[in-house]
Amino acid sequence: MHQLTTPREEQPLPTAVTSTEDAALAIEILQLRARNEQLERALTSRAVIDQARGMVMALAPCSSDRAWGLLVEVSQHCNVKLRDVAAALVATTNDETLPAPVRRELRRALRRLHMADQR
């Protein structure tokens, strides 16, 4: 934004006129801020998902990849985002109850995992 000063006040007054470069820079800043927020959410989600993966690995026991697949399976069958399934599972360490659909699908997935291991 360009600024004009009045002789009387000697303070800059913003004008409504912006150059194309200023507009492009403002758009880029907004896009970078949005991307930054998205990455911060992803990092937070990833930490919770990794904690839940570790819990599944301890429960099953299974590999990290199989734990990931199990969480994805539960997420898809419940139609709940993976990060929400993971957060609900991690919350059980604070005596919170796992939502019934997630609990049911987790049991089924663990049962299928154990049956596959027995073959």
d(CA 110, CA 60) in angstroms, rounded, equals 7
Q: What confidence tens digit (pLDDT) does each residue in 58-91 have?
A: 999 999 999 999 999 999 999 999 999 999 999 9
45, 58, 80, 82, 102 from 40: Cα distances, Å = 9, 28, 21, 17, 26
CA dihedral sign, ordered 87, 54, 110, 97: negative
Q: What is the model's pTM?
A: 0.69
Would you kindly state where each structural domain of the chain is located, as residue ranges?
Answer: 19-118
